[in-house]
Amino acid sequence: MEKQRIFRSGYARQLKEGVKFGVNLHRYESENFEYDEEQTLFFLNIDKPVGLLDALDVTDDFQSAIKIYEAYSGLEPIQASDIRFWVYLTHADLYPYVKERWNSEISTKYILDHWFIESPRQGNLLRHSLSQLWWAVHLSIDRERKDKYELTKILFRNRDFPFRTLGTYRLGRHKEAVIGILEFIAENDQLFKGNFEDKTRYITKYLNQMGGVKPIAYYERGFFKSELAKNSSSIESV
């Protein structure tokens, strides 16, 4: 099987600088992005998946996220934080998908936001057009359930929930917190029937503020469910 490739660090920076200075923008109008294959490396111990591009659906982020996660299920979190990998995918293997899914405009900011990653901080990884999909599944998958993606489905119920609501807070980088929040929603479905977006923003902000005075990274999912249960009446009124 063919090994997965990634860009060399310097080349990824070069492409990014070209966008910043406006000299590369026209290249994102093409059906296929031309890049220097000599500026690639093999990604250690990772195979290139077969048929991934054809399996992705620009109209269904949840299904595309599952496909990307399953294709790269062997990634360790440290590997999934590698900017070179995701920048390569957006410009090479999965460029046609990214272009169709996100190419609503050709501008410096838009290209930088969707084709590049500023730094390997978790918040940035949860905003990139491809890495956000892998990480959303990684943080919500629960292999103890009959349907291991049951909670992932809830996470993708609203497009902003995984990436702009949870993804903007430290809370959204802690798997036990994410699982606890999603389990609470699953077990209190009636509570979230209306105003889902506003209510998820409320509970995320509420728990994140709590994180300012408590070491939430050390708590398990039950803690987060318990805290939300105490605040049910306030959630209902949102």
- C-alpha–C-alpha distance, residues 15 and 18, integer Å: 5
- Which residue segment(s) compose the domain that 181 sits in? 145-238
pLDDT, greater one: 40 or 168: 40
Vertex 30 angle, CA 109 and 43, to 5°: 75
215, pLDDT greater than 70: yes
184, pLDDT greater than 80: yes
With beta carbons less than 8 A apart as the criterion, state whether 153 and 189 touch.
no
**pLDDT band at residue 98 using 50, 70 and 90 as cut-offs:** very high
| Whether residue 180 sits in one domain with residue 103 | no
Q: Domain ends where: 140, 156, 182?
A: 140
Instruction: Compute the mean pLDDT over every residue in the chain, rounded to the nearest whole number.
Output: 92
pLDDT in the model for residue 160: 84
With beta carbons less than 8 A apart as the criterion, state whether 155 and 161 touch.
yes
21, pLDDT greater than 80: yes
CA distances from 235 to 129, 193, 204, 227 (A): 31, 12, 11, 12
Helix (H) or strand (E) holding 177: helix 175-187
pLDDT in the model for residue 213: 63
| Whether residue 112 sits in one domain with residue 84 | yes
- C-alpha–C-alpha distance, residues 127 and 119, integer Å: 11
Please give the share of the chain, as a percent, with pLDDT higher than 90. Answer: 74
| Whether residue 116 sits in one domain with residue 8 | yes
171, pLDDT greater than 90: no
pLDDT in the model for residue 170: 73
| Whether residue 162 sits in one domain with residue 124 | no
User: Per-residue pLDDT tens for 38-70?
Assistant: 999 999 899 999 999 999 999 999 999 999 999
pLDDT in the model for residue 201: 92
pLDDT in the model for residue 126: 84
**Strand, coil or helix: what is 42?**
strand
Q: Domain ends where: 140, 168, 188?
A: 140
78, pLDDT greater than 70: yes
pLDDT in the model for residue 164: 75
